[in-house]
Structure 1
């Protein structure tokens, strides 16, 4: 991915440092950016999720990455991948370091709320099925893990292995095995740690996985809407 610049913000989200690259990306001089709030440059549909992740980094110190839309000074939107981490903790407060890289625009322009609702319905349908039929007949652990991660990230949460095991009724060992397979396919990224510490590591969907989900959920949503009978104007 191409680096688009970096910045430093304080605990309130106010930009305190901005390098020339991020100024060029946002199409605004440093004099304008410094003192402005970063969330003012975040698309409204992504703002709540990003604020939640920002608070999470402050509280537990664990770096996170997310895909979101930046609003530049000319009002144009840019899909980026943002990497957020604690830079320092001093008597003056916490400083957050943000590295911005380019992110591929998802294939759909569907509203995020519609995509999240479709993902939830898909997940709930799979859970409902296991209550009626034997779960062992329809096991699809990799898909269930990806769905759970997609929903959690859209809601502003990041999952760990233990969270997934609880949500899906799987053992941590089984979740770890599937996570290795998903990582090998480039569909998930680990927040910290390495392959030997998977049981204790949080993870997120990769940029590629986000794009694939956008396409899949958009197609499912469009198909569902098209299947709804339209009212007969003569009745």
Structure 2
């Protein structure tokens, strides 16, 4: 069962450049963040994001396609008075000069809604699945199991969440499978629009937005997902 959230209340909007440096922000948002607009314009959203939420925040923004689907991020900011402020941001990447713009619609989150159900929880659960699967393979033998597609998705998701780059070589080492076998699985995942096509000469794996959404939907299930 998916976690269901109350409808958030929109506070305002922000515009940042492709690197996340704020170019404009609505006064109500600045007030909620315990700052004036002129204190926010010219700084990166990274500098006011809670450090525990930063890795997944960067991964989701990094996965955005220009003029493509937006992404929803539930996160914490560090207010100007040092308070932790929970918000939801709907972010889109639009075409423009110097790499384009990031457009954010910021909404409040009810304090009764624990942010641990958000990005940090999903990242932690993905790591737990990988740890369980590794222990399972060590104790029972990897030859008994063949959940390679799920493992590839988890490895790529965790790498993106932690600001690392997943690669075919890394996945091959983790699964103790040949590169050719991993590449066959990647083609299958690409056909399902879960993994972006790998660019020639660049060994870097990235989930599509559909891939991120579906992996997070599975990670957010309250019932345990079988790993055997």
Q: TM-score range by the shorter chain?
A: 0.5 to 0.7
1:8 is matched with 17
For each residue in 1:66-100, what CA deviation from the matched residue of structure 2 results, as whole angstroms up to 9, or x when unmatched? 6545889xx852233569xxx5xxxxxxxxx3543
Q: SS of the residue aligned with 1:178? A: helix
Counterpart CA distance in 1 for 2:102 and 2:218 is 26
With normalisation by structure 1, the TM-score equals 0.57
Q: What displacement does 1:168 show?
A: 1.8
CA gap 1:175/1:6 in 2 versus in 1, 3 angstroms: farther
For each residue in 1:160-209, what CA deviation from the matched residue of structure 2 results, as whole angstroms up to 9, or x when unmatched? 1112112221211111111111111111124x62xxx3x73312222222
The partner residue of 1:157 within 130, 154, 164 is 164
Q: Rg bigger for which structure?
A: 1
Mapped pair 1:147 → 2:158? no
The partner residue of 1:46 within 53, 57, 71 is 53
Counterpart CA distance in 2 for 1:215 and 1:171 is 30
1:184 is matched with 191
The partner residue of 2:124 within 117, 140, 164 is 117
1:172 is matched with 179
2:91 is matched with 80
- The structure whose residues are more often strand, as a share, is 1
CA gap 1:186/1:117 in 2 versus in 1, 3 angstroms: same
Judge conservation of contact 1:41–1:70 (CA < 8 Å) in 2. no
Mapped pair 1:126 → 2:133? yes
For each residue in 1:12-58, what CA deviation from the matched residue of structure 2 results, as whole angstroms up to 9, or x when unmatched? x644xx4xxx768x978x9676423232565665324556x7xxxxx
Counterpart CA distance in 1 for 2:52 and 2:92 is 15
Judge conservation of contact 2:159–2:165 (CA < 8 Å) in 1. yes
Counterpart CA distance in 2 for 1:167 and 1:45 is 26
Q: What displacement does 1:153 show?
A: 1.8
Q: What displacement does 1:145 show?
A: 0.3
With normalisation by structure 2, the TM-score equals 0.59
Structure 2: runs of 5 or more not aligned = 1-12, 31-36, 65-70, 78-85, 106-113
| Matched positions, count | 181
Q: SS of the residue aligned with 1:188? A: coil
Q: SS of the residue aligned with 1:158? A: coil
Judge conservation of contact 1:71–1:78 (CA < 8 Å) in 2. no
The partner residue of 1:65 within 63, 80, 101 is 63
Q: SS of the residue aligned with 1:170? A: coil
- The structure whose residues are more often helix, as a share, is 1
Q: What displacement does 1:115 show?
A: 2.2
Q: SS of the residue aligned with 2:43? A: coil
Counterpart CA distance in 2 for 1:162 and 1:175 is 9
Judge conservation of contact 1:39–1:47 (CA < 8 Å) in 2. yes
